[in-house]
Structure 1
Amino acid sequence: MSDHEDLYTDDDPEYRNTRTVSGIVPPSLQSLHRNNSNNYQQHQHRSSRDNRQFAVPERHGVPDHRAVPEHRNVASQQRSATSPPKVDMTVRTDFLKCDQEHRLAIEDLPAMIRVREPKEQDYFWNPKDLVDQTNAMRRRVKDAPDEARAKCNPFGGINKSIFMNRAATKLAALDATFALTATENNSKPFTFADICGGPGGFSEYLLWRVHSWGGTAKGYGITIKSRDHDEVNWHAEKFRKNISNNLTIIDGPDGTGDLYEEANIRGFGDTVRQHTDQQGVDLAVADGGFDFKGQEQQQEYVTRRLLLCEIITMLTCLKQGGTFVCKIFDINEEFTANMLWVLYQLFDMICITKPLSSRPTNSERYIVCKGLRAHFPQNLITALLSVNQGLEKQPHRIGSFVPRAVLEDDEDFVNYIKMRNISYSSQPHSLFRFTSKQIEALELMDQFIHRPDRPPLYDQESIRQHCMKEWRLPVHGSSQDEE
């Protein structure tokens, strides 16, 4: 088989300039008109490279074959074996853009950063009943077998596709929606930084994607080395053999790749800037996390330092105008909202979204940030590193680092975060129909736990084929098809 036989092709082989008609619906009219500063039409015309991210079907609204069932009532619904339930294929794509009234100058941001003691949780960002309900369902299904987890996920058939792990297909879904690998200058190599990227699924996808249209990509990666869990270490040897492995692995001055260490953060940024003529990379991605199976309600608190260090590392290596994609979890705590507010100030626009290939039962989501306003803001980096030092010495003494009044003064920001907590759906009346998509998925999983003989509700293979076409991945093929 030739190098390109297993790659997606069509009548126009130049992937970046090919616009497709998608079955994924655009943002709702409610989202489009909520804020003139981040309306759909403005972003759609921002640049030709971004037009792909809103692939608009020929008729607006949700087609009949994509109607959404109310999962909480699914047990009582009568369905025939030949008529699987409808699947919600909507994806959040509406960006939030900071208006001039609330936009701070980059040089003024460090003055806002002051560590503050934690306060009693006031459920400002997420209603208490929603938090309690989610945590109760998490505890209820914490020992769910893998079979039950698979049956309740309509997108479970996607798995890892042709790549080394599932992380790659998450990035593929995000790329298809947000045009992450599009560049303005096709004559230059596409550059990226993979932060906390081991074993390398994100890097493998990015190298493969650029290779698929005949381009050149160069990546730089850092991840913590582990003696006990080899699966989290870099495994570039597992990348597809028909692509050039242009990934430079950087372990930092102490050789550990540990981003909690300031020297490793600065060392990574110094190396990347040196290799890119001090310009930085086009795209920075961060997918760090821990194994929280059975303890998911602790994710947000435990990962807050990791998320902060990923953001700082991004600031040391991303070029001005570049794009940042970072995995986050719940947004219940003030500290998390503070970090998102910093990104909101740093970039032209941000979008909190959940790719279809991310399990609906977990709180994982991604923030996509486009248009970094300033390259290598040293004073801000230093200020954020001081917060990291505080988390190392006295993590229990740190509850926030941006005044609540600053956040509350920006109604658009507050509403955007709260809406993301209430519902993932972008359909106009979803708030009246669903409490949370995650809770619905957990409830559905619970049904499969108690009825293990129940067949899957969804035609996962049909859904997989649809997504592969949408994301321009081979419909047929596996991770073993390397020649």
Structure 2
Amino acid sequence: MSDHKDLYTDDDPEYRNTRTQSGIPPPSLRSLRANNSSNNYPQRHHREQQHQRSSRDNRPLGVPERHAFPERRGVPEQHNVASPQRHPPKLDMRVSTDFLECSQEHRLSIEDLPAMIRIREPKEQDYFWNSKDLVEQTNIMRRQVKGASDEARAKCNPFGSINRSIFMNRAATKLAALDASFGLTATENHSNKTFTFADICGGPGGFSEYLLWRVHSWGGNAKGYGITIQSQEHDEVNWHIEKFRQDIPRNFTPIHGPDGTGDLYKKENILGFGDTVRQQTDQQGVDLAVADGGFDFKGQEHNQEYVTRRLLLCEIITMLTCLKQGGIFVCKIFDVNEEFTVNMLWLLYQLFDMICITKPLSSRPTNSERYVVCKGLHSSDSLGTLIDALLSVNQGLETQPERIGSFIPRAVLEDDEDFVNYIKMRNIRFASKQVEALELMIPFIHQPERPPLYDQEWVRQQCMKEWRLPVHRSSQEQEL
């Protein structure tokens, strides 16, 4: 191990400004600590706690103070099994909350952004945004666990016992985790201001149920608007407001667009939703927009990013039609290997004060799911021109999807080293943790009788406390 004094700490102001030949910044001390042997765990934990305490003073405004988890509880000793087994890795319950802010040098005005948008042909995969070895290793591990039972997947997931808590589905606990980390529902005056939100592609309604419950729990008022595709074949994707908790006001308005389908691929539905929301919010827009759209990817996990690119684009366009200036946007994404996905993240990076790519603990560690949290939307009278330019990209994806590889020049992205480094390091972090989680699943596939790696009930209780959710299970939860 090299001398640590030659490395960079995570809070070094020069860290992101350091140019390197590879285009990837040097490893941080945080990464090295995570890779140290388990014999150094007490010392690492002490240093990490010091870092957590010092970072509280620098957290973004509106983010509640996080509670440190107790030291070693919840991580049992090695299980006595027939075959040799290494000690399970120490459970990392930290959440990535590092925001990226666009400097004045690289920030474009909203008026200038439409001129940047021009459809470009796809190029051969060059692995510029992620490690080729990590991408290939992830795909290999996905194939190895293909067909794994739900029991095997649950036992290797430390957070598997969290499930849906008191809500209709697991989506709600993901948003609860994000809210605790990023202060999504924080408002200056809970009692006098109605908190407004838009739920984009959110059926059956887990995100909305959580938001209505959270604001109601402190005595505040909330109002939600939602659009999701209407399906006769798959009822589970439709809004199910009747399944919301009975103890909260169901102050939620489903909007299906002019054609009644809720299909966001259609321009008229996107614009119709935005017009309705703005009319009902005195032309101000909502405080928070959330987007959790997806498909059934079972057996096609390696193709998630390509399949969802049009959906992600339409969710971003819809957000721009209804989010107020200064508002917050939370959107689910998957892998970030393709140029088209990076283009959309760059666009959010330009449009908001700051963005953070993160993965809540309640999101399964074996999948590629992650979320981008964007704070402080910029706005101008030219936003409509930008929306029109993005709608033209959506039209191209409908008519000739195979001919669209990107819509922002690569040179523009490469010129901003802060952005490039952030995307690369986020990719490496999430891919490495996913590979580790997939490797941990293998023994449970071959030995179904193995006990879970971690004390999942203890983990659940700590997360419930951290996310300000009821710790004790309801009778309905116990039946699951």
Q: Same fold (TM over 0.5)?
A: yes
2:149 is the counterpart of 1:145: yes
Give 1:191 deviation, angstroms: 0.2
Instruction: Tell me the distance in 1 between the aligned counterparts of 2:132 and 2:301.
Output: 17
Matched with 1:97 is: 101
| 1:141-176 per-position Cα deviation (integer Å, ceiling 9, x unaligned) | 111110111011000000000000000000000000
Matched with 1:55 is: 66
- Residue 134 of structure 2: SS of its match in structure 1? helix
- Residue 442 of structure 1: SS of its match in structure 2? helix
Distance 1:64 1:475, change over 3 A: closer
Q: After alignment, is 372-381 or 282-291 more displaced?
A: 372-381
Distance 1:109 1:85, change over 3 A: closer
Give 1:86 deviation, angstroms: 3.3
- Amino acid paired to 2:409: P
Instruction: Tell me the distance in 2 between the aligned counterparts of 1:47 and 1:436.
Output: 27
Q: What is the alpha-carbon root mean square deviation over aligned residues?
A: 2.5
Give 1:69 deviation, angstroms: 11
Structure 1, unmatched stretches of 5+, are 1-27, 425-434
- Residue 252 of structure 1: SS of its match in structure 2? coil
Partners of 2:67 and 2:466 within 8 A in 1: no
Give 1:76 deviation, angstroms: 4.5
- Amino acid paired to 1:55: R
2:374 is the counterpart of 1:369: yes
Instruction: Tell me the distance in 2 between the aligned counterparts of 1:363 and 1:303.
Output: 12
Matched with 1:19 is: none
Matched with 1:20 is: none
Partners of 2:288 and 2:323 within 8 A in 1: yes
Partners of 2:331 and 2:372 within 8 A in 1: yes
- Residue 368 of structure 1: SS of its match in structure 2? strand
- Amino acid paired to 1:412: D
Distance 1:363 1:269, change over 3 A: same
| 1:340-368 per-position Cα deviation (integer Å, ceiling 9, x unaligned) | 00000000000000000000000000000
Structure 2, unmatched stretches of 5+, are 1-7, 18-51
- What are the residue-to-residue correspondences of 1:328-367 with 2, within 5 Å? 328-367=333-372
Give 1:443 deviation, angstroms: 1.0
Matched with 1:408 is: 414
Instruction: Tell me the distance in 2 between the aligned counterparts of 1:298 and 1:219.
Output: 32
**Aligned residues between the structures:** 429
Partners of 1:66 and 1:88 within 8 A in 2: no
Q: 1:30 aligns with which of 10, 16, 22?
A: 10
- Amino acid paired to 1:274: Q
Distance 1:164 1:66, change over 3 A: closer
Instruction: Tell me the distance in 1 between the aligned counterparts of 2:234 and 2:67.
Output: 43
Give 1:85 deviation, angstroms: 6.1
Partners of 2:102 and 2:353 within 8 A in 1: yes
- Residue 284 of structure 1: SS of its match in structure 2? strand
Matched with 2:28 is: none
Partners of 2:110 and 2:380 within 8 A in 1: no
Matched with 2:32 is: none
TM-score (norm 1): 0.84
Instruction: Tell me the distance in 2 between the aligned counterparts of 1:178 and 1:211.
Output: 19
Q: 1:464 aligns with which of 455, 460, 463?
A: 460
2:421 is the counterpart of 1:421: no
- What are the residue-to-residue correspondences of 1:287-326 with 2, within 5 Å? 287-326=292-331
Distance 1:115 1:387, change over 3 A: same
Matched with 1:199 is: 204
Partners of 1:66 and 1:89 within 8 A in 2: no
Instruction: Tell me the distance in 1 between the aligned counterparts of 2:419 and 2:196.
Output: 31
Instruction: Tell me the distance in 1 between the aligned counterparts of 2:450 and 2:179.
Output: 35
Matched with 2:449 is: 453
- What are the residue-to-residue correspondences of 1:215-226 with 2, within 5 Å? 215-226=220-231
Instruction: Tell me the distance in 1 between the aligned counterparts of 2:175 and 2:464.
Output: 13
Partners of 2:66 and 2:466 within 8 A in 1: no
2:435 is the counterpart of 1:439: yes
Q: 1:87 aligns with which of 68, 84, 91?
A: 91
Distance 1:32 1:321, change over 3 A: farther
Partners of 2:199 and 2:226 within 8 A in 1: yes
2:234 is the counterpart of 1:254: no
- Residue 174 of structure 1: SS of its match in structure 2? helix
Instruction: Tell me the distance in 1 between the aligned counterparts of 2:217 and 2:475.
Output: 16
Instruction: Tell me the distance in 2 between the aligned counterparts of 1:148 and 1:478.
Output: 25
- Residue 247 of structure 2: SS of its match in structure 1? coil
Give 1:446 deviation, angstroms: 1.6
Instruction: Tell me the distance in 2 between the aligned counterparts of 1:130 and 1:355.
Output: 21
Give 1:108 deviation, angstroms: 0.4
Matched with 1:228 is: 233
Give 1:32 deviation, angstroms: 5.9
Instruction: Tell me the distance in 1 between the aligned counterparts of 2:57 and 2:384.
Output: 33
